Structure 1
């Protein structure tokens, strides 16, 4: 899940945390909710997902247990995918969905990203190729090869996701654990779904948020 919103008019400005489009109707609802207010420059006090340098930057949560069928959480294991990925922003990450809900979120978001189409250097590319070019430093790569590679990676990542061994939805885990990476999904003041680590273990091992395709909607 990428914490970004794809802009179909300007593929290289797909920032979900778009501070030029603050939803003023939702702003007051969230302006007093913040897990950390260190080094913030946005009026939303951190709830829009703007980067914070605080070493304790993870979501405070009153829940002590997370049930694997709770769709307000995304749950992952640290691991490696069987295939190697160059473009797919889920495949280049090291977080593997651990629940059916999280797996479905990942599949849906991949499909949503791929629905977007853009003209780039004379080629028609989808959103996944566009994001990879922008965020994975592939601007100088052969575009036709990137398109072919993305198609193969899409097939591979779907196969891998559909073959994952997932946790029993009736089971649960303590939030403060060192086995699963857990993110709380929450709507911010810009109307976007963001995710934040709910414990120190997750914060420590979570990868760069640009690659978090599994953490939020489009």
Structure 2
């Protein structure tokens, strides 16, 4: 899954170094580690969330219903995209946005990722290409071709998202269902938005963190 409503500026700084942490900002939202009451084991002093206790903590969700207009939840269906995707984080996953809010969140995340730019092997690449190179074992592929592929995939995924049949925002669903994948969104003490599956159906089918990207080392 693509991490819902993630603060992408905390991921891509710098994207191609050796650190595979979640949050690569130089400081947490409180300015330093001593301000974070949750963190006791993070080797990055609260910057990445790799071992920070707060990345694993969520308040118990007492909600029994999820309204499709509630922006504290991301709601998906299991399915397949019409096009094949190699780089796009949302496109390589099998989770299809089911609500307008989730669709908008997905579009915003993709656009935020793409706005980050890096120099790599003589090319100027965006964040989507950078993530694919970093985590999807594409380091040895032609960078120019990856850039062209990402442009095509971006056009395709936007078209698919804009043509999705979405749930009525005034409707709702029980949390315990086997029709929708539902994630509760919560901000941790470092300002990163984390997503937690809220039912067994979602826990069974959800992938780990940023879609099918291989995050070995986290």
- Sort the Cα spacing of 1:152 and 1:181 in 2 relative to 1 into closer, same or farther, 3 A: same
Shift of 1:211: 1.7
In structure 1, the partner of 2:85 is: 85
Shift of 1:60: 3.2
- Sort the Cα spacing of 1:16 and 1:123 in 2 relative to 1 into closer, same or farther, 3 A: closer
Shift of 1:52: 11
Shift of 1:117: 0.5
Structure 1, 16-25 or 118-127: larger mean CA deviation:
16-25
Q: What is the alpha-carbon distance in structure 1 between the residues aligned to residue 142 and residue 100 of structure 2?
A: 36
SS in 2 for 1:28: coil
In 2, are the aligned partners of 1:93 and 1:212 still within 8 Å (CA)? yes
Q: What is the alpha-carbon distance in structure 1 between the residues aligned to residue 214 and residue 91 of structure 2?
A: 11
In 1, are the aligned partners of 2:4 and 2:106 still within 8 Å (CA)? no
Aligned residues: 218
Unaligned runs of 5+ in 2: none
In 2, are the aligned partners of 1:66 and 1:173 still within 8 Å (CA)? yes
Which consecutive segments of 4 or more residues in structure 1 shift more than 4 A?
1-59, 212-218
Shift of 1:12: 7.4
Shift of 1:208: 2.5
Shift of 1:34: 20
Structure 1, 95-104 or 200-209: larger mean CA deviation:
200-209
SS in 1 for 2:145: helix
Shift of 1:200: 1.6
- Sort the Cα spacing of 1:7 and 1:130 in 2 relative to 1 into closer, same or farther, 3 A: farther
1:83-142 CA distance string (max 9 Å, x none): 000000100000000000000000011011110100000000000000011111100000
- Sort the Cα spacing of 1:109 and 1:17 in 2 relative to 1 into closer, same or farther, 3 A: farther
Shift of 1:10: 11
Structure 1, 39-48 or 134-143: larger mean CA deviation:
39-48
TM-score for the superposition, normalised by structure 1: 0.75
Structure 1, 75-84 or 39-48: larger mean CA deviation:
39-48
